[in-house]
Structure 1
């Protein structure tokens, strides 16, 4: 074979191998789980109110000592 034919065959093989390599992509990554949908609005407000009440109570009871 002459050098020109070897270059053509090598180029064709290179292109075909590149197509095969790009076609070997794995499966897509799994989707993230959906959010739980539980609101935290009311719980936070109640927790802050209870914390303020508890802190004021402790502050007033320790002030007398």
Structure 2
């Protein structure tokens, strides 16, 4: 049973790593020329990281209960 959980965690890690490294996940540059659009500064540090940590903690808790 423990090996099944390790395999599942490894699979989830590899899927997440693959999604983060695909070219579609990266920001797109300016279009086919012309002036570059104005930069929009969006802070993604506080709330997004708390949601990510909470989701990770909840997932690990549910996996451990199984």
What is the TM-score when the length of structure 2 is the normalising length?
Answer: 0.39
Q: How high is the TM-score relative to the length of structure 1?
A: 0.40
Q: Which has the larger radius of gyration?
A: 1
Instruction: Report which structure shows greater RCO (CA 8 Å, sep ≥6).
Output: 2
